[in-house]
Structure 1
Amino acid sequence: RRATEGARRRALALTGGVHGAAQQLRRGADAEALHDFRVALRRLRGCLQAYAPWLKPGRKLTRRLRRLARTTNAARDAEVGLEWVRDRLPTLEPREQPGARWLAAYLEARRTRGYRRARTCIVRCWTRLEPRLRERLAAGATRTCTESFAAVSGALILTHADALERALATLNAGAHDRQAHRARIRGKHLRYLLEPFCARVPGGIPAGVPGAAETVAALKSLQDELGDLQDTRALLDMLHVAAPDAAAAYSRRVMEIALSAGTEAQLRLACHDDPLPGLLTLARAAAARRTQCWAALRAHGTHRDLIAAARGVAARLATFDTAPALRAVSRND
């Protein structure tokens, strides 16, 4: 079996994972179901992108899968932000509580809207995309290919390891959130290429390629660090958008009390509900968290050991027997 067949079977297995996650979402759009779908779709898109010369998924289908993935972003960001705010509520001063409660309600409403939109879009769009994708992958079974699955995967791992190395080097030159996000994506793509050759991952080679599991674990740790930074940036963006809405809602409430001949006691009570002190405290905490994330990333440098380990796995794949890999992947078709 060659690269085309190995990539095709891997993609079919990942398509099945997306299908199962979509069915779970169809039954109920909770945070866990949405997370499972996001991860499954991200793995599938990574596979289609990496092995595009052999799978030939087509630009139109690739764009539609990308748009589908983006429909889940708002709900996921709101979910993470809501959890962060709720964790800090007990530590806030009484005058800061109204702002935190307002932001929690704002994020909860945003999350609910995001879940509803994501669930509707996923059920509708994936139902149309899946048959087309499987048809594309079935067509790939007739293509001839001389390269082995291991040799092609090894070359791709080398290419992605080089890209991650460049992205990490850029991070050390300056603190830019977009560069950190780019490095995170590079790390994910590299991890998804390594996973089929990791014994601890379902669908991987039974014996495993030496060093693959350890490299995947190190990449996961790096992605967690970069993910914390990305989540903090998303929270700061949401605070930037939400603060004017909170101030406007508070001003309208105070003015309504004043114009309706409210008593001084009512006005004083309304003033205690000013959301700005709490929002400012949360914004400072998020900004401090962002600074801590950058400090942790710089402390780890360019992750030379991680890059070297990935290149070592790629070198071993050059002489690895791919038959077990193809058999393992085919069991998930």
Structure 2
Amino acid sequence: MSLADAIVAHVLRLETALYHARARLEAGTDGEALHDLRIAVRRLRSLLRPLRGKEGVVALEQAAAAVGELTTPARDLEVLIEQLRKRGLLAPASSRAARLMASHEEILRSPVLQQLFDRLAAWPADLRLAQRQGELRRLDGLLNKRLGKLKVRLQDALADPQHDPHRLRLLVKRNRYAQEAYPQHSPISADGVLALKAVQGALGRWHDRYQWCLRASQEADLQPLREQWKSEAVEALQKAEGKLLLLTDALAAKAKDRRRTKGNL
């Protein structure tokens, strides 16, 4: 299978996953439908990002980005409701459940979501056109270059003593999903991938509490939880720092391995 064929097949699998997630969201059958839809969108964007400049990529990526932006508030609300239920705070959780259901319905009715499916239906033909026009001849080298640059941006951010956890979280996610999209072109080792997952989880726990604290400053029924969430956020960030050191080492070790291998050729 050629690289272009593999990319088209991957997009078709993600399109199928998106249709399934939308159907589950329409049926209200489980609490993970929106999460799974967002994961499929994120993976689609990770597949497309290194292909910028190729036929139809910008339009499809913009459509995917719009769906990501559209669904973020509802997903944040889902996570908050789950947290409140775990703490036994059923009244504030229930008061938000109706708002969440309305958000789901708004997403399903939105032309933004339909536009993504329309773009997905048209995109394989765009890629085939780019292939016929010779735009994909150096695609292997382009992917190697762009995934390499993405890794370097992460390494630079990790090396900054004043690193911003928000930016680190974004770069970690981009590197992880880029590696999943193009494992044969990724400069990140297996240990590095495991470290990325660990850091993403740790920073995700911190980010959730950071967001909840912001909400608690505006929503009166959450204010009694604010100090506890602040404490948990500090603890989560401290734990994340240790995992960031492991990630730094894993990324550096891979770079050394590549130089040693190149020297032996």
**TM-score computed with the length of structure 2 as normaliser:** 0.80
Mapped to 2, the partners of 1:13 and 1:315 lie a distance apart of 36
> Which one-letter code corresponds to 1:139 in the other structure?
D
CA contact (8 A) 2:195 2:243 kept: no
> Which one-letter code corresponds to 1:48 in the other structure?
L
What per-residue deviation string (whole Å, max 9, x for no partner) do you get for residues 203-241 of structure 1? xx7xx9997544332211111011111111121122122
Mapped to 1, the partners of 2:203 and 2:242 lie a distance apart of 13
Mapped to 1, the partners of 2:129 and 2:114 lie a distance apart of 25
- The corresponding residue for 1:224 is 201
CA distance change for structure 1 residues 101 and 120 in 2, over 3 Å: closer, same or farther? same
Residue 15 (1) aligns with residue 4 (2) = no
CA contact (8 A) 2:154 2:172 kept: yes
Secondary structure of 2:137's partner?
coil
CA distance change for structure 1 residues 116 and 148 in 2, over 3 Å: closer, same or farther? closer
Q: CA deviation at 1:284?
A: 0.7
Residue 287 (1) aligns with residue 264 (2) = no
CA distance change for structure 1 residues 116 and 56 in 2, over 3 Å: closer, same or farther? closer
Query: Of 287, 297, 309, which residue of structure 1 is paired with 2:240?
Result: 297
What per-residue deviation string (whole Å, max 9, x for no partner) do you get for residues 163-221 of structure 1? 11223334x416xxxx32222221122112212455xxxxxx7xx99975443322111
Query: Of 184, 187, 206, which residue of structure 1 is paired with 2:172?
Result: 187
Q: CA deviation at 1:280?
A: 4.2
CA distance change for structure 1 residues 213 and 21 in 2, over 3 Å: closer, same or farther? farther
> Which one-letter code corresponds to 2:57 in the other structure?
P
Identity of aligned residues (%): 25
Residue 71 (1) aligns with residue 61 (2) = no
Matches within 5 A, 1:17-96: 17-28=17-28, 30-59=30-59, 61-89=60-88
Matches within 5 A, 1:177-256: 179-196=164-181, 212-243=189-220, 246=221
Larger radius of gyration: 1
Q: CA deviation at 1:79?
A: 1.8
- The corresponding residue for 2:102 is 113
**TM-score computed with the length of structure 1 as normaliser:** 0.65
CA contact (8 A) 1:167 1:183 kept: yes
CA contact (8 A) 1:164 1:186 kept: yes
Mapped to 2, the partners of 1:49 and 1:135 lie a distance apart of 18
- The corresponding residue for 2:124 is 137
Q: CA deviation at 1:301?
A: 4.4
CA distance change for structure 1 residues 88 and 22 in 2, over 3 Å: closer, same or farther? closer
> Which one-letter code corresponds to 1:163 in the other structure?
R
Alignment root-mean-square deviation, CA: 3.3
Q: CA deviation at 1:3?
A: 5.6
Query: Of 165, 176, 185, which residue of structure 1 is paired with 2:155?
Result: 165
Segments of structure 1 that go 5 or more residues without pairing to the other structure are 90-99, 199-204, 247-278, 319-333
Larger deviation, residues 233-242 vs 208-217: 208-217
> Which one-letter code corresponds to 1:146 in the other structure?
R
CA distance change for structure 1 residues 110 and 233 in 2, over 3 Å: closer, same or farther? farther
Mapped to 2, the partners of 1:25 and 1:309 lie a distance apart of 43
Mapped to 1, the partners of 2:5 and 2:69 lie a distance apart of 29
Mapped to 2, the partners of 1:194 and 1:187 lie a distance apart of 11
The count of residues paired between Structure 1 and Structure 2 equals 256
Mapped to 2, the partners of 1:219 and 1:32 lie a distance apart of 23
Mapped to 1, the partners of 2:188 and 2:42 lie a distance apart of 24
